[in-house]
Structure 1
Amino acid sequence: MSQLDAVTSHHGGGLPANADVVVVGAGITGASIAHHLARRGVSVVVIEQSRHHAAGATGRSGGMVRAYDPDPVTGELALPSLAAYRDAGCWASGRAPLHAVGAVTADHPVQGSALREAAGQINGALSASAHVVADQDEVAGIRLAGGVALVEPEAGWVDPAEVTADWLAQARVDGAVVCHGIRVRQVEARGRRPMVVTDAGTVSAGAVVAAVGPWASDPVPGLRPASPVRSRSIQVSIVERRPPAPPHATFVDLRTGLYAKPVGSDRTLLGMPHLLWDSPVDSPPEPAHAQATVAALTVHFPWLTTATQLSTVRGADAYVSPGGQAPGLLSGTGVPHVWCVRGWNGGGVKTAPEAGRRAAEACLADAFSDIA
């Protein structure tokens, strides 16, 4: 069994009775938090309800990563995260997971100066070659259909499940216990320690952090975030890219929300906002939306008129409820020493390396703040 395969080998029994920190959720953010905690010598238990890691929003994510984001909070985390994805030394596999196909972010012309400022910041931090193009019909295999675009040649995409497995493998080497197929029933305060009650036993923890993505919209008792979370549907399709269709960078159009990324040498993932709130995470795909997605993206990829649609995947992302206060990285739950990771509005993969590091530091400080 390989080191990366080992992360799925623990199903059920042997749940420790005590841990410095319990991480609920083995998606990409939970795995990052566990890795950074274990690397600091903290005893960590990861509890995942599914039989394998990255079973929720992580496994259905497009995995696009770039340094730029119009949300400054997300952008602050995405910049060092892209650096981590580029650094082979950060990964148990010994290679960087980033597929550096480039990234193109399109926006309205009025945003040109903001994009140029962002390009300067990216280049200063990463010694990169980000730049802005305007009045150009096509860049990196993508028709721009007007507007301006920030081009990041050093960005691209990662396989979210692969990244998650790598971090969990590193966490286990550093002493973490990763448990799959265990459901958390509630988290409660007993004395000065939170207790995580599961269907396989109870764990006494110094701190608990829930990284459960859209499942935070219907939390178990004790894991309700201070800022309510809603789930919003996502749906992506994979199409076959046949010659003479050119290779292309990852693409996000901030004007419309359309996005696309290459998947290997002959396939492309396509996405379009799917504005359905609070639908079940495992709802079946909608063929009409898949067809509308292909039609909408044809203006940017004319070869889609003859492309074969191969598959469609439905999932969900976590969002702060409209009108709710946007949380920081961690949101309180009302139970002392129990935290919930913020909903990332679909940006969890892009921010996971740095978000996990910062969340781990916060949990480390909290776990020993007043525990005898």
Structure 2
Amino acid sequence: MSRDGTPVLRRGADLPPRADVVVVGAGITGAAVAHQLARRGAHVVVLDGAARPAAGATGHSGGMVRAFDEDPAIAALALPSLAAYRDPGRWASGRAPLHTVGAVTVADPARGPALRQAAARINDALRSSAHVVSGAAEALGIHLAGGIALVEPEAGWVAPAEVTGDWLRQAVADGAAVHRAVRVRAVEDDGGRPAVVTDAGVLRAGAVVSAVGPWAADPVPGLRPATCVRSRSIQVSIVERRTPAPPHATFVDLRTGRYAKPVGTDRTLIGMPHLVWDCPVDAPPDLAHAEATVSALTPHLPWLPTARRITTVRAADAYAPAPGGGAAPALLEGTGVPHVWSVRAWNGGGVKTAPEAGRRIADAVAADSSAPSV
């Protein structure tokens, strides 16, 4: 292991000639898939072009975790994922990664009946204390600004890079290999099975899973998903939270898309939609948007105008169109190369859904006849 606790870099001659499954992308979803496949006995190789895991969108994610989501398909993944984040027995560290500060979802008061139904479903599944607050000024340190709120006291946030590293450590312990700073150049059909062409050699696999996030919008040959994927800018700022500013839960306002979460005891992450499409994933921060974010979130966090802004970080998320007819989206999409799959674009919800999505994707890949030893 390296000093940061992540698996040691391998490259060059260390790249094996074959694997049951190659996972492209060492972000949180790729790590979840690799962990789940390795524990099933598959020989898994993880490839990532960066020098460390979670270097892309995962590392810049807010990491907010809650069971509720407006999309029933995402909620079906988020609820068991919250249970996984709460369970210390699921983690190599021996402790649950969830920071239980609570989660507040603010909505228009007309959404009250739907939120109460959601709270009941969450409580039935998790034996938690989710509830709806209406007619109140604030909940868990968040001013509701005229809205109604679904409050999940047992939810909160995780550090996405920490979660990613834990899953990769578990995968390595189960026989997986993680190769960092290895760039995939193409994935080709080699007699009905995929051949992964990298700058460190060619790796033949029974199946390939691409979990590259916003890079799916401009993928290498052979990894292009069936549906159109676009990148959309995300930008967050970290501000200092000094006394008398109170501690607070994570929150999102469904009316506006604005959100915030605590970062430790004295800092808060704030963000709101940044509707810049098809942008470079490493674009510089938009400082005007950073200032507008402070103003927009002040009704929810009245202490923000006097808070010192520490840093602003910009990255990107992967977005795909919603399926028609109310159908639940598939977790994997074909790419045109046999036994090569692309993880669907999560539209910004990858961290919240990763534990359960990783399990279900591993089940699907394990059923692939090209990986007989899985």
Fold shared, TM-score > 0.5 on shorter chain: yes
Is 1:63 matched with 2:63? yes
Structure 2: distance between partners of 1:234 and 1:367? 38
- Report the residue type matching 1:43 in the other structure: H
* Residues 12 and 180, structure 1, Cα contact 8 Å, conserved in 2: no
Structure 2: distance between partners of 1:2 and 1:216? 29
Q: Is the alpha carbon distance of 1:59 and 1:13 closer, same or farther for their aligned partners in structure 2, counting shifts above 3 Å?
A: farther
Structure 2: distance between partners of 1:281 and 1:242? 32
Instruction: Give the aligned partner of residue 205 of structure 1.
Output: 205
Instruction: Give the aligned partner of residue 110 of structure 2.
Output: 110
Instruction: Give the aligned partner of residue 173 of structure 2.
Output: 173
Q: What per-residue deviation string (whole Å, max 9, x for no partner) do you get for residues 236-295 of structure 1? A: 000000100000000100000000000000000000100000010000001100000000
Instruction: Give the aligned partner of residue 98 of structure 2.
Output: 98
Runs of 4+ in 1 over 3 A off after TM superposition: 1-4, 321-327, 367-371
Shift of residue 8, structure 1, vs aligned partner: 4.0
Structure 2: distance between partners of 1:145 and 1:280? 34
Q: How many residues align?
A: 371
- Report the residue type matching 1:80 in the other structure: P
Shift of residue 323, structure 1, vs aligned partner: 8.9
Structure 1: distance between partners of 2:13 and 2:301? 50
Structure 1: distance between partners of 2:99 and 2:10? 30
Q: Is the alpha carbon distance of 1:155 and 1:370 closer, same or farther for their aligned partners in structure 2, counting shifts above 3 Å?
A: closer
Q: Is the alpha carbon distance of 1:294 and 1:158 closer, same or farther for their aligned partners in structure 2, counting shifts above 3 Å?
A: same
* Residues 12 and 179, structure 1, Cα contact 8 Å, conserved in 2: no
Structure 1: distance between partners of 2:103 and 2:116? 15
DSSP 3-state at the match of 1:123: helix
1:320-331 equivalent positions in 2, closer than 5 A? 320-321=320-321, 327-331=329-333
Structure 2: distance between partners of 1:215 and 1:356? 19
Instruction: Give the aligned partner of residue 186 of structure 1.
Output: 186
Structure 2: distance between partners of 1:8 and 1:235? 30
Q: Is the alpha carbon distance of 1:232 and 1:200 closer, same or farther for their aligned partners in structure 2, counting shifts above 3 Å?
A: same
Q: What per-residue deviation string (whole Å, max 9, x for no partner) do you get for residues 5-63 of structure 1? A: 24143344411110010000000000000000000110000000101000110000000
Structure 2: distance between partners of 1:8 and 1:263? 28
Q: Which runs of 5+ in 1 are unaligned?
A: none
Instruction: Give the aligned partner of residue 334 of structure 2.
Output: 332
Instruction: Give the aligned partner of residue 217 of structure 2.
Output: 217
Instruction: Give the aligned partner of residue 311 of structure 1.
Output: 311
Q: What per-residue deviation string (whole Å, max 9, x for no partner) do you get for residues 283-323 of structure 1? A: 00011000000000000111012100000000000000589
Instruction: Give the aligned partner of residue 196 of structure 2.
Output: 196
* Residues 86 and 98, structure 2, Cα contact 8 Å, conserved in 1: yes
**TM-score w.r.t. structure 1 length?**
0.97
Q: Which runs of 5+ in 2 are unaligned?
A: none
The percentage of aligned residue pairs carrying the same residue is: 69
Structure 2: distance between partners of 1:367 and 1:136? 56
* Residues 193 and 370, structure 2, Cα contact 8 Å, conserved in 1: no
Structure 2: distance between partners of 1:367 and 1:31? 22
Shift of residue 367, structure 1, vs aligned partner: 4.6
The two structures, once aligned, show a CA RMSD in angstroms of 1.6
1:8-23 equivalent positions in 2, closer than 5 A? 8-23=8-23
Shift of residue 2, structure 1, vs aligned partner: 6.5
Is 1:341 matched with 2:331? no
- Report the residue type matching 1:329 in the other structure: L
* Residues 21 and 44, structure 1, Cα contact 8 Å, conserved in 2: yes
Instruction: Give the aligned partner of residue 74 of structure 1.
Output: 74
Instruction: Give the aligned partner of residue 237 of structure 1.
Output: 237
Q: Is the alpha carbon distance of 1:95 and 1:369 closer, same or farther for their aligned partners in structure 2, counting shifts above 3 Å?
A: closer
Instruction: Give the aligned partner of residue 255 of structure 1.
Output: 255
Structure 2: distance between partners of 1:172 and 1:123? 35
DSSP 3-state at the match of 2:303: helix
**TM-score w.r.t. structure 2 length?**
0.96
Instruction: Give the aligned partner of residue 131 of structure 1.
Output: 131
Shift of residue 110, structure 1, vs aligned partner: 1.3
Q: What per-residue deviation string (whole Å, max 9, x for no partner) do you get for residues 129-163 of structure 1? A: 00001111011001001121100000000000000
DSSP 3-state at the match of 1:251: strand
Q: What per-residue deviation string (whole Å, max 9, x for no partner) do you get for residues 67-111 of structure 1? A: 000011110000000000000000000000000000000111111
Instruction: Give the aligned partner of residue 84 of structure 2.
Output: 84
* Residues 249 and 261, structure 1, Cα contact 8 Å, conserved in 2: yes
Structure 1: distance between partners of 2:238 and 2:302? 16
Structure 2: distance between partners of 1:189 and 1:296? 50
* Residues 339 and 370, structure 2, Cα contact 8 Å, conserved in 1: no
DSSP 3-state at the match of 2:128: coil
